[in-house]
Amino acid sequence: MTAPPICSSRSPRASPIRNTRPEVREQRATILIVDDQPANIHALAKLLKDDYRIITATNAAKALELARREPGPDLILLDILMPDQDGYGLCRELKADEATHAIPVIFVTALDQAQDEAKGLQLGAADYISKPFNPAIVRARVHNQVSLKLKTDLLEKIALQDGLTEIPNRRYFDRKLSQEWNRQSRHQQPLSLLMIDIDHFKPYNDHYGHGAGDECLRRVAQALAQAPTRSADLVARYGGEEFVVLLPDTDATGAREVAEKMRAAIHTLAIPHAYSPVSDHITISLGGSTHQPQRQRPATSSEALKQVADQALYQAKEQGRDRLFWRDIDAS
Ligand SMILES: [Mg+2]
């Protein structure tokens, strides 16, 4: 597998979908139809194509590949009898994989014995349709499962978004950090982390009131979220007036560029702060660190990266705030 390039100058990677928020989709739901017989795929696709985006696979390997793509399908219609891997095996694999386990599966099959259906449901399938099927019943069952999936996605999105600033929350960040940590270690790519604090936010809140404090947090969050240019970059609210930025495939040089861009963006907002000893407007302090898997002992953890960036943030404050402090993870 070819590793993605490291960009210290951080050339933006074009992406139509900004990934700084938990995945949200507003297009039609997507259905993956898996069947070794193209005629069967055609019959189901014809039935559903007016209401859904249809993608298809004639074997389990291709189906797995399509299911793991981002964004994945919202429902899988799965045949059982297929020459290489059967539908049961594929369902088992989908349900065991973190990336695909939440996609509902409906078996559509010529097997019509109760034990076949029981086996499918025990493997985690949401529903089971025997052939020959009634088109209206297929449409209704598909509709029910897709509605349920979209509701679950919405709840998930709400659970992973910060209500005030509408950027991802700490829970989402922690999840992404552990995913990226594993991915970057596998690909031997650098991973950078920034911790950010609004300077003297308590006196701001005390003097201007909590309403103004909330508005300040919202504006800072939006300005920070707009600074990174790559779809995989993540800006999240960590808690209170603290924010965190995850920069995959980014070395220290590239991450420092993003950090300085963020510091400048907050200056540009020019939110007046008459009670800050640092400036007459709102400023931020930033601490950053990069993990280079090629150079570091494998024992270093994502928790260590977080701690080192946090120590760097502390240093930035000690040295007078409104600045970036960089700390090498080896120095800890
Ligand atoms: Mg078949």
Q: 100 burial class (0-12, 13-18, 19+ CB within 10 angstroms)?
A: buried
Q: In sequence order, which residues have a C-beta less than 8 Å from that of residue 45 and are 6 or more positions away?
A: 33, 54, 56
The pLDDT of residue 18 is: 38
Confidence of residue 23 (pLDDT cuts 50, 70, 90): very low
Q: How far is the CA of 141 from the centre of ligand 1 (A)?
A: 20
Q: Does domain 30-159 sit in CATH 3.40.50.2300? A: yes
CB 271 within 8 A of CB 281: yes
Distance of CA 264 to the CA centre of its chain: 26
The pLDDT of residue 282 is: 98
- Cα-Cα-Cα-Cα dihedral of 145, 149, 152, 158, to 10°? -150
* Alpha-carbon span 216 to 165, nearest angstrom: 10
Q: How far is the CA of 5 from the centre of ligand 1 (A)?
A: 41
pLDDT reading at 3 higher than 60: no
Q: How far is the CA of 137 from the centre of ligand 1 (A)?
A: 20
Q: How far is the CA of 145 from the centre of ligand 1 (A)?
A: 22
The pLDDT of residue 11 is: 56
Q: How far is the CA of 36 from the centre of ligand 1 (A)?
A: 5
Whether omega before 5 lies within 30 degrees of 0, making that bond cis, reads no
Extract the tokens encoding 151.
């509701």
pLDDT reading at 24 higher than 70: no
What is the per-residue pLDDT across 37-60, written as a single tens digit (0 to 9) for each?
999 999 999 999 999 999 999 999
What is the per-residue pLDDT across 200-216, written as a single tens digit (0 to 9) for each?
999 999 999 999 999 99
The topology (CATH level 3) of 170-331 is Alpha-Beta Plaits (3.30.70)
Known catalytic membership, residue 241? yes
User: Closest Cα partner for 17 from 72, 69, 70, 55?
Assistant: 70
Confidence of residue 112 (pLDDT cuts 50, 70, 90): confident
pLDDT reading at 247 higher than 60: yes
Number of H helices, E strands in the chain: 10, 10
Q: In sequence order, which residues have a C-beta less than 8 Å from that of residue 237 and are 6 or more positions away?
A: 162, 164, 165, 167, 168, 169, 170, 217, 221, 243, 244
Domain boundaries, the chain: 30-159, 170-331
18: left (phi over 0), alpha (psi -120 to 50) or beta: beta
Q: How far is the CA of 34 from the centre of ligand 1 (A)?
A: 9
- Marked catalytic residue, from 98, 241, 260, 318: 241
CB 301 within 8 A of CB 237: no
